[in-house]
Each structure stands twice: as structure tokens, then as C-alpha cells.
Amino acid sequence: MKKLIFLLILISLFSAITVVPQTTETIRVGVFFDMTGATSSFGIASTNGIKLAVNEINDSGGINGKRLKIYLEDDEGRPENARTVVQKLINENKVHAILGEVSSTNSLAAAPVAQEAKIPMISPASTNMKVTEVGDYIFRTCFHDPFQGEAMAKFAFYQLKARRIAIFRDVTSDYSKGLSENFTSTFRKLGGKIVATETYAYRDQDFNSQLVKMRRQTPDALYIPGYYSEVGVIAKQARKLKMSIPLLGGDGWDSPELWKLGGNALNNTYITNHFAVDNQAAEVQNFVKKYEAKFKVKPDSLAALAYDSVYFLADAVRRAKSTDGDLIRNALAQTRNFSGVTGKILRLDENRNPVKPAVIQKLNTKTSDFVYQTTIEP
Ligand code: PHE
């Protein structure tokens, strides 16, 4: 009998030892994007970038001996869903950190949930100022819109010699609103004039009346800080109305879908962006090669930012030596000289915004490529 009890104790001790480390073995990362809605191209590319980075990290032994495990949720591009899926990731999946969303409006809807639960959330791509202002657990891997808007305003004024600009923005998007304000303030400071401002809404299809109003003011260029889903259609309708002026945009244009929607109307257009696939730096081309081999398409800036976000998180977890939310948060905030395929993050500012460069790209409708023009340093 004694022998049996001893054996039972031994077995339970043994299983406790083997079971406990197994549950702490993984670093649980919640991921949420629009996988099926109007901006699903953003979610699909982002998820690809995340998968590539997670596989690389796990294949090379994980982080401090722990593997990364991904929990993916689709918010269908709806802010109310973004909120509930993040609640689920935290309460049910007990994630240690969260990656998401792309569109600023969706990140803004979800961020208060992560902040309240003290779970670090990193948006790879939301550029609106307000996103990280939600609280000290909210981070991003991209630059913000004051920087992006300023970069395009300077390019329009100095390189394109534009003096009169019309702005066409999406009223349903925090991103579009912020970017048009940031562009306006810099462009005016330089001595340029905003001659017209018109608005549209997400999923609109007919933009003719606003375009005609803006055409009357004879702008030198048209700034459209929106998402590819509407921008492609706007470009087509503008060209049909004989508006051959340069069209200017931002990162929200970056999608392989844009070419299908806009076609040749995208001639003579320029955008600010995070990542240049034609950047010949070895680390960029190495990433492009691996991504293309796995997903049979070239990576866009969403793929690149999401890939960098995993390494950005991994770098912090490694330094934190823990999966504790506070310790990961502190380590993230102390990030220095982090090199990614979207450029080097020198440091984060007091609102957890990366200080890093932007690129300007010209659209080539013959090859469906965003062609690198210049880098704007912070
Ligand atoms: N910056 C956009 C936003 O904040 C999202 C985006 C980033 C879209 C990069 C495309 C490429 O809403």
C-alpha cells in the first residue's frame, strides 16, 4: 500500500512537472483584422506577414525557449466587431499581446478594451494620432499621419510645384480626416492654398458631383487620403471628367486591388508609404524573396509592417524575459534602434509613436507597381 501511494505521488508530481511548463511554453498572440470586408486586402496581407515572421521565429527556437502561438479573429472591417473580437481574444484565449488593426477607426474601437485589460496592443499600420493616445498599452509599428501628411505636402509643393490643392476625403474614416488636416496645415504653412474640400463615405460608388465642384476651382493636384476600395473608382471618374492633374494619396492606396479598380486612371499619381518593394537593401530583398516564395505575390506595405510588428513584439518579449503584460509594455516602450524591413525605428516618442522614415512612390500603371521616388527622414 505504502509503495502504491508513493508511486501515485511520484506520478502526480511527474505529471505536474511535465504539464505546467507546457502551458507556459507558448506566447499567445491575438491577431485581428478585416479578413472578409471591404478592406480585406489589408487583413490578408497583414496575416501573411505575421505568419511568415512567426514561422521564422518558431523555427529558430522561439523566444526565450517559448513558441509563439497565433489566435486570429476576423472583424469584417466593422469597428463594433473589432471591439468584441478583442474582448474574446483577451477573455477566452488569454492572449499575452495583440496585433491589429489596419484601419485607424477599427484600431480606435478596439484599443480601449486592450488598455483596460492592460494587454499590450500593437497596430502594425494605423497611422491616426489618436490611436496610441488611447493609453500606455497601445503601440504602433508605423509612423503617424502628422508625419505622412507633412511628407506629401512638402512633396507636392517642392517637387510637383503645386500651389492649389483640392482635397477629397472619406467622412467615415478617422484616418482620412486626420490625414487631410495634417496635409492642410503643412501645405498652408509652405504658402500653398487648399482651394476646395469635398467628402465621400466608405463604399460610395458615384463621386461625380463632388469631382465637378472641385474641378471648378482649377486645382494643380487632387489629394485623396482614402482607402484603395474607393480611390480606384474616384480616379477613374476624375479622369473621365478630364481631370488629368496629379492625384496624390497615402498608405491607404496600397493594395493589389487598386490596379483592378483604377487601371490607367492611376497614371500621374503619387503616394506616401511605409515600404518600397524595390528597395535594393539586402534585408528587404531577402524578405521579398521569402514572402513571394510562400504566398506567390509580392509583399505590400501591410505585409511588411505586420512582419516587422511580430519582430518588434518578439524583441520586447525577449528583453522582458516574461509574458507579463506590464513587463512587455515597458520593454516595448524602451525599444531602440529596431531594424525592420519598413526602416529603422530609432526610438518611440512619449506617445509610443515610432520615429522612422517614409517613402514617396509613383504609380506605374503599365507594370502595376509602386515605384520608389524618395525617402523622407523623420
Ligand atoms: N494608415 C491607414 C490607417 O490608419 C491604414 C493603412 C496602412 C492602409 C498602410 C494601407 C497601408 O487607417
What are 132-177's pLDDT values in tens digits?
999 999 999 999 999 999 999 999 999 999 999 999 999 999 999 9
pLDDT at 25: 84
pLDDT at 1: 53
pLDDT band at residue 2 under the 50/70/90 scheme:
low
Neighbour tally for 88: CB within 10 Å: 16
Q: Using the predicted structure, report yes or no on whether residue 117 has a pLDDT greater than 70.
A: yes
Average pLDDT, the chain: 94
pLDDT band at residue 178 under the 50/70/90 scheme:
very high
Q: Using the predicted structure, report yes or no on whether residue 249 has a pLDDT greater than 70.
A: yes
In whole angstroms, how far apart are CA 320 and each of 35, 55, 63, 286, 335?
A: 31, 21, 11, 28, 11
> 317 C-alpha vs ligand 1 centroid, how far in Å?
26
Whether residue 168 contacts residue 153, with contact meaning beta carbons closer than 8 Å, is answered with no
Whether residue 231 contacts residue 254, with contact meaning beta carbons closer than 8 Å, is answered with no
Whether residue 357 contacts residue 378, with contact meaning beta carbons closer than 8 Å, is answered with yes
> 318 C-alpha vs ligand 1 centroid, how far in Å?
28
More confident residue, 14 or 64: 64
What are 277-331's pLDDT values in tens digits?
999 999 999 999 999 999 999 999 999 999 999 999 999 999 999 999 999 999 9
> 226 C-alpha vs ligand 1 centroid, how far in Å?
9
Ligand 1 pocket: which of 175, 224, 258 to mutate (most atoms <8 Å of CB)?
175
Grid coordinates standing for 273? 508609404
> 11 C-alpha vs ligand 1 centroid, how far in Å?
54
β 343-347/336-340 pair status: antiparallel
Residue nearest to atom 4 of ligand 1 (CA): 126
Ligand 1 pocket: which of 102, 144, 169, 254 to mutate (most atoms <8 Å of CB)?
102
221 lines ligand 1 (CB under 6 A): no
> 125 C-alpha vs ligand 1 centroid, how far in Å?
5
Query: Ligand 1 atom closest to Cα of 255?
Result: 10
Ligand 1 pocket: which of 41, 103, 353 to mutate (most atoms <8 Å of CB)?
103
Query: Ligand 1 atom closest to Cα of 102?
Result: 5
pLDDT at 353: 97
pTM: 0.91
175 lines ligand 1 (CB under 6 A): yes
